[in-house]
Structure formats: structure tokens, C-alpha cells
Chain A
């Protein structure tokens, strides 16, 4: 979608398909005041200083089907690793616009850590407890009534309500501190920020975690484009920039009254689901940013 949008803007794009890594090559050199290099894809070479924008959605190369039957020490495996290494590290130091660089994306590897970075931008975060002590969880639950649990790391997990049936397996947390949060009521809004452009989408779903409504036997989430109050939109832009990101998907819950809660800032948002359901031109905004038009 981003490539199509960039081409509509008249920009020449080259695609690095990870699955074709064996037919690609790359090198760069760096000194105090100089960065140069080249990338070769399917027989065509391109100087790196001619690349002005990079959109990355790389998967873990170790999971590529082309490596499935290769032992970890195979030459093909080593080459794939080295190619991804050079590509990733050039992106970190390149003056090109990169959506997004690896280092600022890393705040998402710890939700409670990221929550502490989010709060100074004027968002609330549900009261959070991470513990390996079942009694502490029960005390937390009795204070808040409804609590949810979810992964603390960036690993995707289904947000679940903590129910009476969960009490008997609570001792399992002794082996690994687990994250619990006070449940907060409100309307879910996903906000995509691209540089200074804001696309807000209202999400209506009966599920605790709308992403899994269908799997949980409920109606799929209903997505509707919406406008945020100007001050809230501005907070989202400042938060995205403050985390060092050019593109982010921000998960908000907006109560009828009171503070706006922010659950997470996703640095590699799967925006196509939202664009397909609402028609919001998110890919075009990403392309405009990458081509220096915003």
C-alpha cells in the first residue's frame, strides 16, 4: 500500500523482498563526516545516498521459508543474517527518512516501561501491578473490582479479564512476575500518527480485546473514522515525536468523562486493517512523509 501510494506521488521505489535475500547484496562505509554505499537487488545496483526514504516491515529472518531446512551454521543462513545486519545498521545511521528506525521502536518491548514514558505527555495509564505474589493480586483485585492481565513484553498477547475461574491457577505466576491492570471503561480509539498527520479510528466491540472479537465468537469490531479534539491530537503528535517515531499506532481508551488512557504506542502498526475499513489515507500519508512532502 505504501509503495502504491509513493508511486502515485511519482516516486521511484525499490522493493527489498526478504524472501529473495540470496539475490541481494549491500555494503556501506562510514567515517567522521562521510556515509556511502550501495545495495544490489536482483542484479540492479543502487547507491545508498540516492535513497531518501525507507519503509521497513521486516519479519524475523530466521523464520523465512528459504531457511526452513537450513542448519543454523549453513552459509545461506550466515549470509541472510549478515545482509539483514548491514541493512538494519545502515538504517540507524542513514540521513534518509526511515519509518521507523529500530532503536526508537524498542520502547514497545516493555509495556510498563513504555507506560512510564507515555505519562509525561498528558495521558493516563491504568493502575498497573506486576507481581509474582498471588495474595498481592487478590488485594489489587479487591481494590479495583475488575482487572485484566496481559503480557508485559512486546510479545502479542490477548488481553483477558481476570475472572473467578482464574483464581485457582494464580499460583502459576510464582514462576514469572505477571502484569495486571485496573480495567477502565471507555471507547477504544486507535490513532495513527504520521509525522504531524493524525488519523483516529473509533472501535466498537463487545470483546475485551477487540483484535480477537471474531475468535472469541463475537461480532467483529466496527471501525469508524473520527476526529479527535485538537489538544488530544496534538498530544498524540508530541508523544510520537517524543518516542523518536515518525509513524505510530496509539491505542487510547476515552471515557465519557475524565482523563484519556493510553495503553500502548505501536511503532510498527498494522494500519492496513484500519485503512481498509475506514478509507483513511494512512499509506498515502506515510508515502508523503517518506518522500519529504510533509
Chain B
């Protein structure tokens, strides 16, 4: 079985799930964060250097980690609907406990997981813009000078970004392993994007580029959870190949 983990409103992941089914992977099980929250049976163990996981989805379907062949992981967080009436401090405690739990069982899966969880993000590591610029420069992508001051007021919640001025058109390259899809960047840029994903230890990475201070393909940010539909069928093929390649290595 192949598993797609995502939020129920993640249209991009739902598209990828359907596309993976159409590509020939069978069966592909869709598992939303809401259904994880409602599971009445979780059994995660660490024993003799090995981690195992077994859980039951609403409706009775059992998911056993050992039987999974690959996971497309787009999990941001797991909701806590049954804690809505609890105090704020209790809710914060439960959120942290659940994050710790989901990080552990996802990490322990022996099948290919795209992306593997990290403490900085369940679906891969989220980094600050400054870290991305630092890594992008090492990867050979054109980077503009990044500046940050205590006097800045960047409203991230409103979509403001240091690396993208309002009105700029963003082009996105999506890397999966050693393949790149999405915006038709020149080969040296595509290669640098692949190097960035490798440096970031992130299997699937969306890389934003703009016509900016360092040229027409200036680095403008990266995300472990990009809009997958931007990669089209080429991206789906890359995911299928990555699953197969990782299994072959294992």
C-alpha cells in the first residue's frame, strides 16, 4: 500500500494522490490529518533498535507501517478537535505531545517517505529565509543580498516576504531526488536547484525564483511543501521513480 498523508484542504496533495493512482500505483490510501486525529488505536513501539507503528483509521481500516511501500507526506500538524474546550495551556501541551509522537512514528517508517519528518516540520524542514539564502548560495543559485534588522516589520502572516517584492512573478522549480520539474529554468539553474535540495536534505523541495537583483532566476525562497500541481505529470513520474529508487537502495 502507498499512503498520502495531508490536510483535508490540501488541494495540491489531493491532486497528487489522484495522479499517483492514475500513474499505476495501487492501492494508494488517502489519510487526512482529521482522520489521524480521530484514530481510536495507535500503537507505536521502539524495541531493539527498531520502530513500529500500527493505527486504525475511522471506519476500521488498519494501517501497519511494515506493509507500507511508500508515503507521500504533506502533514503540517494534527488537529485536536476533542481538546477544543480545554484550557489554552492544555491545548499547547497536547499539540506538542502529538507533534513529538507523529515525528517519531513517521521517522521510524522503513519505507520511502517523501518528505521524511524533521523536528522543524512534519513534512520536511522549514527554514528561515536567511538560512535558505545561505544554502542557495552554497548550491550555486544566484542570490541577492539578504538583509534583516530588529527594526524590520515583516508580516509573514499576511504573506509578506523579504525575498519577494509585491507584484513580482514567482516561478517555482520542484525537485524530487535528482529530478526537477515545474518552471522551465535553464539547465545550470535546474542543477543548482537539485544541489540545494541535496544540501537541505529534503527529497521534495519547491524552489521559488524571481527576475530579481541577481538575474532572471534569482533565488526567492524554498518550501518542503510546494504546490505539487505546478510540477504536473513530470513531478508525479519523479515521485514514483524516487519511491522505486529508495526501495531499491533499501
Q: A28-B148, A116-B51 are in contact. Are A109 and B133 (CB under 8 A)?
A: no
* Contact between A110 and B119, CB atoms less than 8 A apart: yes
Which residues of chain B are within 8 angstroms of A109 by Cβ–Cβ distance?
96, 99-100, 103, 119
Pick from A32, A33, A79: contact of B150, CB under 8 Å: A79
* Contact between A112 and B46, CB atoms less than 8 A apart: yes
Which residues of chain A are within 8 angstroms of B119 by Cβ–Cβ distance?
106-107, 109-110, 113
Q: What is the distance, in angstroms, from A215's C-beta to the closest C-beta of chain B?
A: 20
Q: A26-B150, A127-B45, A127-B46 are in contact. Are A89 and B82 (CB under 8 A)?
A: no
Q: A106-B119, A131-B44 are in contact. Are A154 and B96 (CB under 8 A)?
A: yes
Which residues of chain A are within 8 angstroms of B97 by Cβ–Cβ distance?
151-153, 155, 176-178
Taking CB as reference atom, which chain B residue is nearest A30?
B146
Is the C-beta of A78 less than 8 angstroms from some C-beta in chain B?
A: yes
- The interface centre, meaning the residue of A27, A28, A116, A154 with most chain B CB atoms within 10 A of its CB, is A116
Which residues of chain B are within 8 angstroms of A89 by Cβ–Cβ distance?
128, 130-131, 148
- The interface centre, meaning the residue of B39, B108, B145, B150 with most chain A CB atoms within 10 A of its CB, is B150
Q: What is the distance, in angstroms, from B13's C-beta to the closest C-beta of chain A?
A: 23
Q: How many residues of B contact A (CB 8 A)?
A: 47
Q: A89-B131, A92-B131, A107-B119 are in contact. Are A113 and B103 (CB under 8 A)?
A: yes
Q: Mark A120-157, 1 if CB is under 8 A from B, else 0.
A: 10000101111111001000000000000001111100
Which residues of chain A are within 8 angstroms of B144 by Cβ–Cβ distance?
31
A129 to B105, alpha carbons, bound, how many Å? Answer: 11
* Contact between A115 and B98, CB atoms less than 8 A apart: no
Which residues of chain A are within 8 angstroms of B130 by Cβ–Cβ distance?
28, 30, 89-90, 92-93
* Contact between A155 and B96, CB atoms less than 8 A apart: yes
Q: What is the distance, in angstroms, from A11's C-beta to the closest C-beta of chain B?
A: 26
Is the C-beta of A214 less than 8 angstroms from some C-beta in chain B?
A: no
Which residues of chain B are within 8 angstroms of A30 by Cβ–Cβ distance?
130, 133-134, 145-147
Q: What is the distance, in angstroms, from A142's C-beta to the closest C-beta of chain B?
A: 15
Q: What is the distance, in angstroms, from B35's C-beta to the closest C-beta of chain A?
A: 14
* Interface bracket on A: 35 or more
Which residues of chain A are within 8 angstroms of B146 by Cβ–Cβ distance?
29-31
Q: Mark A16-37, 1 if CB is under 8 A from B, else 0.
A: 0000000011111111111100
A27 to B128, alpha carbons, bound, how many Å? Answer: 15
A179 to B101, alpha carbons, bound, how many Å? Answer: 9
Is the C-beta of B49 less than 8 angstroms from some C-beta in chain A?
A: yes
Which residues of chain A are within 8 angstroms of B83 by Cβ–Cβ distance?
175-176
Q: A27-B149, A29-B145, A93-B134 are in contact. Are A116 and B104 (CB under 8 A)?
A: yes
Taking CB as reference atom, which chain A residue is nearest B150?
A83
* Contact between B149 and A110, CB atoms less than 8 A apart: no
* Contact between B47 and A127, CB atoms less than 8 A apart: yes
A107 to B99, alpha carbons, bound, how many Å? Answer: 12
Pick from A26, A33, A115, A133: contact of B43, CB under 8 Å: A133
Q: Which residues of A contact B (CB under 8 A)?
A: 24-35, 78-79, 82-83, 85-86, 89-90, 92-93, 103, 106-107, 109-113, 115-116, 119-120, 125, 127-133, 136, 151-155, 174-179
User: Considering the complex of A and B, which 4 residue pairs feature the smallest CB-CB distances, nearest first?
Assistant: A32-B137, A106-B119, A110-B100, A27-B149
Q: Could you give 25 example pairs across A and B, Cβ below 8 Å?
A: A26-B149, A29-B146, A30-B134, A30-B146, A79-B150, A82-B152, A89-B148, A92-B130, A93-B134, A106-B120, A110-B100, A112-B100, A113-B119, A119-B49, A129-B44, A130-B101, A132-B42, A133-B43, A152-B104, A153-B99, A153-B100, A154-B96, A155-B97, A175-B83, A176-B97
With A110-B104, A112-B101, A152-B104 given, can you name 9 additional A-B contacts, CB distance below 8 Å? A27-B147, A29-B148, A30-B130, A79-B151, A86-B149, A93-B134, A130-B104, A153-B97, A178-B97
